[in-house]
């Protein structure tokens, strides 16, 4: 095998340029459709101006780029290798004894570097801006009463509260304790909070009452607060008593409303997973997201190899349209594998690591097999 650093650097530069251009074009296209959808939703709210959809769409750009990066590497690589083929540069290089692995060293290093930079650098930026976008979207474009955060080991819940005012809200805070199967203290699984504080507020966030209780149980359609003390606007406390508080929340809705895994970067996910599990919640989705970010460099490498494999294949047989179609089909197939593996992983049918690494490993095996077939036989 002949290796020429100059040729490898030349191919890598063309590969990087095509990938970045493809990434920018695809990110812009997806962001445009996202912006149009946000405008449609904002049209039903007269108080929401043009700036809110534009801000949300702009804040989502790094997240969109992170999701599109592997496909951009695949399509950009196909374009880059097709350009070299059209100008007969690859043909001349192969005729001079340079193998596929020789001129692919540069592009593969570029793909690996892009994947690593996306995991280590773009992921924190994407998660931070996406979390801000979701907060703006929640307050300006969504309806509903549930909003959940988990910070410092305490759970913060927001729900509607029509007990004092028709449009009132309640903010509930406490340390979560989730009953597990086999807990000898409970006949049936229940969700409870310890060290509970409930702030009952008006629609304009004016305090109406505060409730303090050592424990609150979530029963169907209501919170049951034990030894609750109510403080009114006059700050006078009532004697401790059992208090029932209506709610639309369920344990499932509380768990589903946690910060989505995409709003946490690769550096924050391990700590958040520990907090979730200590609180008794499932962290499967967050574990899958964490390992998917770790697998991104390998997936990027696999996409670059796939691009080379398809380009070399059609170098011999011709057909630019077939090359691009085959690349798109391969990318779509890996996307389907990714979604199916994630669903099986969340359902517990697949181990988390296998569910997260399946697309990268599948793409890598397919690409290496294709290149070995074309190179040796």
> What's the pTM value of the predicted model, to 2 decimals?
0.73
Let me know whether 193 and 291 are in one domain: no
Structure tokens at 339: 């979604």
Q: Distance between CA 140 and CA 207 in Å, rounded?
A: 22
Q: Do residues 156 and 249 share a domain?
A: yes
Rounded CA separation 175/154 (Å): 5
CB 331 within 8 A of CB 73: no
Tally the domains of the chain. 2
127 contacts 263 by C-beta, under 8 angstroms: yes
Contacts of 240 by beta carbon, 8 Å cutoff, 6+ apart: 227, 228, 229
- The rounded distance, in Å, linking the Cα atoms of 111 and 307 is 11
Residue 184 inside a domain? The answer is: yes
Instruction: List 198's β-bridge partners, or say none.
Output: 172, 211
Please check whether residue 271 lies inside any domain of the structure.
no
- List, in sequence order, every residue forming a beta bridge with 200; answer none if it has no partner: 170, 209
Residue 269 lies in a domain: no
Q: In terms of domains, do 179 and 249 share one? A: yes
3-state secondary structure of 212: strand
Looking at the fold, whether 214 and 301 belong to one and the same domain comes out as: no
Same domain, 321 and 194: no
270 located within any domain: no
> Phi and psi at residue 193, in whole multiples of 5°?
-120, 145
Domain of 329? 5-141+282-376
Contacting residues for 59 by C-beta, under 8 A, at least 6 apart:
129, 130, 132, 133, 136
**Nearest CA-CA partner of 38 in 59, 24, 23, 18:** 59
Give just the sign of the alpha carbon dihedral 181, 182, 188, 192: negative
Q: What tokens does 326 get?
A: 């085959």
Would you tell me how many other CB atoms lie within 10 Å of the CB of residue 226?
15
Burial class (CB in 10 A: 0-12, 13-18, 19+), 50: exposed
pLDDT tens across the length of the chain (377 residues): 555 777 778 889 999 999 999 999 999 999 999 999 988 888 877 777 888 899 999 999 999 999 999 999 999 998 888 888 777 776 676 666 666 666 788 899 999 999 999 999 999 999 999 988 887 887 777 644 455 666 556 778 888 888 888 878 888 888 887 554 444 444 444 688 899 999 998 877 788 999 999 999 988 888 999 999 999 888 888 999 999 988 887 777 676 666 678 888 899 888 888 877 765 667 888 899 999 999 999 999 999 988 888 776 544 444 667 767 777 788 888 888 888 888 888 888 889 999 999 888 988 888 888 777 766 65
Contact 188, 195 (CB under 8 A): no
């Amino acid at each position: 095998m002949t290796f020429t650093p100059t040729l490898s650097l030349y191919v890598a530069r063309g590969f990087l340029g095509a990938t970045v251009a493809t990434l920018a074009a695809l990110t812009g296209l997806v962001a445009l459709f996202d912006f149009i959808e946000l405008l449609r939703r904002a049209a039903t709210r007269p108080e929401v101006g043009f700036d809110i959809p534009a801000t949300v769409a702009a804040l989502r750009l790094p997240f969109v780029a992170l999701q599109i990066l592997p496909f951009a590497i695949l399509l950009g690589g196909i374009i880059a290798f097709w350009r070299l083929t059209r100008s007969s540069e690859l043909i001349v290089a192969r005729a001079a004894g340079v193998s596929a692995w020789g001129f692919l060293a540069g592009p593969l290093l570029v793909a690996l570097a892009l994947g690593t930079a996306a995991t280590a650098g773009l992921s924190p930026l994407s998660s931070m801006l996406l979390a801000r976008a979701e907060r703006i979207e929640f307050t300006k474009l969504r309806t509903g009463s549930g909003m959940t955060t988990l910070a410092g080991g305490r759970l913060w819940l927001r729900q509607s509260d029509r007990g004092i005012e028709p449009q009132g809200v309640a903010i509930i805070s406490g340390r979560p304790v989730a009953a597990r199967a086999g807990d000898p203290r409970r006949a049936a699984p229940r969700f409870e909070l310890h060290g509970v504080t409930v702030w009952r507020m008006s629609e304009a966030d004016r305090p109406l009452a505060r409730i303090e209780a050592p424990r609150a149980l979530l029963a169907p359609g209501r919170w049951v607060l034990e030894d609750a003390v109510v403080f009114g606007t006059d700050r006078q406390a009532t004697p401790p008593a059992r208090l029932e508080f209506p709610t639309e929340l369920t344990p499932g809705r509380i768990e589903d409303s946690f910060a989505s895994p995409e709003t946490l970067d690769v550096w924050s996910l391990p700590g958040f997973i520990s907090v979730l599990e200590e609180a008794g919640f499932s962290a499967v989705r967050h574990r899958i997201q964490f390992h998917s970010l770790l697998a991104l460099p390998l997936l990027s490498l696999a996409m670059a190899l796939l691009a080379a494999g398809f380009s070399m294949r059609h170098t011999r047989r011709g057909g630019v349209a077939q090359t691009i179609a085959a690349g798109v089909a391969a990318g779509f197939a890996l996307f389907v594998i990714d979604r199916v593996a994630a669903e099986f992983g969340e359902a517990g049918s697949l181990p988390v690591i296998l569910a997260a690494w399946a697309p990268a490993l599948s793409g890598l095996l397919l690409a290496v097999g294709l290149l070995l077939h074309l190179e040796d036989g």
